[in-house]
Amino acid sequence: MMVVRTAANRPEEQATRDRVLRLQSQLDLAPWTFASEVLVDATAQPHSHPVLTIDAVEDDELLLAAILHEQLHWFEDAHADRTDAAIEATRVRWPDVPTQRPGGAGSEESTRLHLLVCHWEHLGLECLRGPKVAAAVIGRISEHHYGWVYRTVLAERALLTEISVRHGLLPPGAVTTVASSAR
């Protein structure tokens, strides 16, 4: 269960907090929750550490994606050695990746890390909202930031799943989603 608080109790922060709490009551987010505290700060860039922080978001699907994304940074951080090995595995398929935003994530290492995190985010959306909604949300996000990363996530789902499984990095909530799509 996530505890959700606001940075300054602004109306848009309160509305986003209420959306997060509603999503939490409607969906089983437990298998996707790795940080128990969420801060809604309308003035901040979303980030995972030291406190999972999201900005004010009016769209439920984009909000869910943002929560999953930042939660999954906590997942990868808890499995740092395996994540590092999986990042190395991305070099085989993608020897060169964009580093600059909006296509990349700011550096080569961050772009490679985000291939994994954004893939898991996509799996989370598939699990919680279904494959069509998940693909649509990831497509929308790709138009805003990490464009190459998110387009690659959609195009290379099987390979990114294989890398995740090989390195023991399948988030708990993704196990049934991956198993059912393999059939």
The count of structural domains within the chain is 2
Residues 30 and 95 grouped into a single domain: no
Q: Which of 33, 53, 78 is the last residue of a domain?
A: 78
Check whether the bond before 11 is cis (ω within 30° of 0). no
Q: Is the pLDDT confidence value at 119 over 60?
A: yes
Last residue of a domain, one of 57, 78, 99: 78
Is it the case that residue 30 has pLDDT exceeding 60? yes
Q: CA separation (Å) from 101 to 95, 127, 137?
A: 18, 28, 19
Could you say which of 78, 99, 131 is where a domain stops? 78
**Predicted confidence (pLDDT) at residue 183 exceeds the cutoff of 60:** no
Reported as a pLDDT band with limits 50, 70 and 90, residue 175 is confident
Question: What value does the mean pLDDT take over residues 146-151?
Answer: 97
Residue 34 has pLDDT above 70, yes or no: yes
Cα–Cα separations (whole angstroms), residue 37 to 20, 67, 88, 121? 12, 11, 31, 18
State residue 168 phi and psi, 5-degree precision.
65, 40
How far from each other are the two terminal CA atoms of the chain, in whole angstroms? 32
Q: Are strands 37-40 and 52-54 parallel, antiparallel or unpaired?
A: parallel
Position 85 pLDDT exceeds 70: yes
Clarify whether residues 109 and 47 are in a common domain. Answer: no
Same domain, 149 and 166: yes
Q: Residue 75's closest CA among 124, 128, 141? A: 124
Q: Specify the amino acid at residue 161.
A: T
Domain that holds residue 1: 1-78
pLDDT of residue 28: 96
At 167 the pLDDT is 97
Percentage of the chain beyond pLDDT 90 is 93
pLDDT band at 176 (very low <50, low <70, confident <90, very high): low
68 and 155 part of one domain: no
Answer yes or no: do 128 and 174 share one domain: yes
For residues 1 and 91, state if they share a domain.
no
Residues 156 and 66 placed together within one structural domain of the fold: no
Query: Are residue 50 and residue 88 in the same domain, yes or no?
Result: no
- Please provide the average confidence, as pLDDT, over all residues in the chain: 95
State how far the Cα of 62 lies from the Cα of 153, in Å rounded to an integer.
16
